[in-house]
């Protein structure tokens, strides 16, 4: 009897270790990492676009884009790090722009945007199913004659963080949009239905938007944005 209990305990320990290893194994996926530094007088362009989406429950999405055009610069620098490791996207961007005042057509256009989304369906106890859905986008854009800009971002599993510190002269806009909703349905905990599967009930919704911008002047702007789906 005592030996049987030991065997049972061993099985539980092995099961826990296997579960941990499995969770680590399924979390890993392809990784991408690159960084560059560009320093120029004259014209510089940067164009990056990253999109990722899983197709099965939970549906996880990440988006990132960077668009930069510097015209007739006296000095334009762009340092950028981008990496995706286990679906976690991290970015760091540093930009310096000083226009050539002898040229009429000069200026910098910068647009950095990131987004996260998550749709999740989970079986719960008491024949209930939880459904959560969230989507968020954070961005910074500027049309300036002078700029020093640094940002750091992270997107992971429906959450995102974005830090900005910038000084410059001209126009800029920083935006946040986040929406989430939670619902409850009826299932038997094994993927089958109790009654009608379409009987989902909305439990809560949340919507946030933020916009701040400066026009035609010197500015010094710092911001931090954090988005986590409310059920996490």
Partner 1 sequence: MNTRRWVIIGAMIAIFTLFYAIGSVNAGVSFSYNLTGNGDIKANDNYNGKAISEAKSSLKEVQYSFNALGINSDNSSLYHSLSTTKAKGLETNSIFNFNYAAAEGNSTEGGVMDMTENIGLTSIYSGYGLGLLPLIPASCEEVNAYSKLTGTNVLAATITEVEITDDDQLGLQYKIDVGGQKEGYWANGKVSAGVRVYVVDGSDGRFESKWSYEEESTASGSFEFYKVVGYTSKITTP
For partner 1, the closer of residues 24 and 32 by Cβ is 24
Q: Would you say 51 or 203 has its CB closer to partner 1?
A: 203
Binding mask 31-70 for partner 1 (x = CB under 8 A): ----------------------------------------
Among 54, 141, 148, 159, binds partner 1 (CB under 8 A): 159
Q: How many residues bind partner 1 (CB under 8 A)?
A: 51
Closer residue to partner 1 (CB): 6 or 30:
6
CA distance 178 to 207: 6
Confirm or reject binding of residue 232 to partner 1 (CB under 8 A).
Answer: yes
Give the residue with the Cβ less far from partner 1, 73 or 160. Answer: 160
DSSP string, 115-184: EEEEEEEEEETTTEEEEEEEEEEEEEEEEEEEEEEEEEEEEETTEEEEEEEEEEEEEEEEEEEEEEEEEE
CB of 208 to partner 1, least distance (A): 5
Among 54, 141, 156, 186, binds partner 1 (CB under 8 A): 156
Q: Are 147 and 165 in contact (CB under 8 A)?
A: no
- 154: its two tokens: 């992270």
For CA atoms 43, 78, 89, 34, the dihedral sign is: positive
Cis peptide before 58, with omega less than 30 degrees from 0? yes
What is d(CA 67, CA 90) in angstroms, rounded to the nearest whole number? 17
- State which residue, 51 or 215, has the beta carbon closest to partner 1: 215
Q: Per CB under 8 A, which region of 18-26, 94-102, 103-111, 190-198 contacts partner 1?
A: 18-26
Asked if 113 contacts 62 with a C-beta cutoff of 8 angstroms, the reply is no
Strand partners, 139: 113, 175
Show Cβ contacts of residue 92 under 8 Å, excluding neighbours closer than 6 positions.
79, 80, 81, 150, 151, 152, 153
**Displacement of CA 222 from its chain's centroid (Å):** 19
Q: Is 155 in the site for partner 1 (CB under 8 A)?
A: no
Cβ-based nearer residue to partner 1, 106 or 169: 169
Considering only residues 167-226, where is the footprint of partner 1 by CB under 8 A? 174, 176, 178, 201-226
CB of 5 to partner 1, least distance (A): 8
User: Toward partner 1, which CB reaches closer, 72 or 167?
Assistant: 167
| Interface residues toward partner 1, by CB under 8 A | 6, 9-10, 12-13, 16-17, 19-20, 23-24, 27, 136, 156-157, 159, 174, 176, 178, 201-232
């Amino acid at each position: 009897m005592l030996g049987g209990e030991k065997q049972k305990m061993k099985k539980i320990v092995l099961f826990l270790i296997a579960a941990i290893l499995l969770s680590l194994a399924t979390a890993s996926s392809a990784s991408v990492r690159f960084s560059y530094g560009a320093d120029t007088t004259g014209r510089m362009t940067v164009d990056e676009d990253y999109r990722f989406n899983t197709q099965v429950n939970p549906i996880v999405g990440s988006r990132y884009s960077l668009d930069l055009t510097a015209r007739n610069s006296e000095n334009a620098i762009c340092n950028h790090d981008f990496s995706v490791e286990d679906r976690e996207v991290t970015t760091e961007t540093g930009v310096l722009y000083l226009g050539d005042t002898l040229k009429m057509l000069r200026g910098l256009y910068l647009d950095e945007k990131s987004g996260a989304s998550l749709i999740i369906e989970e079986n719960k106890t008491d024949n209930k199913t939880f459904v959560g859905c969230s989507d968020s986008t954070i961005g910074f854009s500027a049309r300036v004659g002078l700029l020093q800009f640094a940002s750091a971002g992270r997107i992971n599993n429906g959450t995102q963080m974005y830090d900005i510190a910038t000084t410059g002269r001209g126009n800029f806009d920083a935006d946040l949009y986040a929406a989430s909703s939670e619902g409850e349905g009826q299932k038997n905990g094994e993927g089958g239905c109790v009654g009608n599967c379409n009987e989902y009930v909305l439990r809560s919704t949340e919507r946030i938007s933020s916009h701040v911008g400066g026009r035609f002047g010197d500015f010094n702007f710092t911001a931090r944005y954090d988005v986590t789906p409310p059920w996490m």
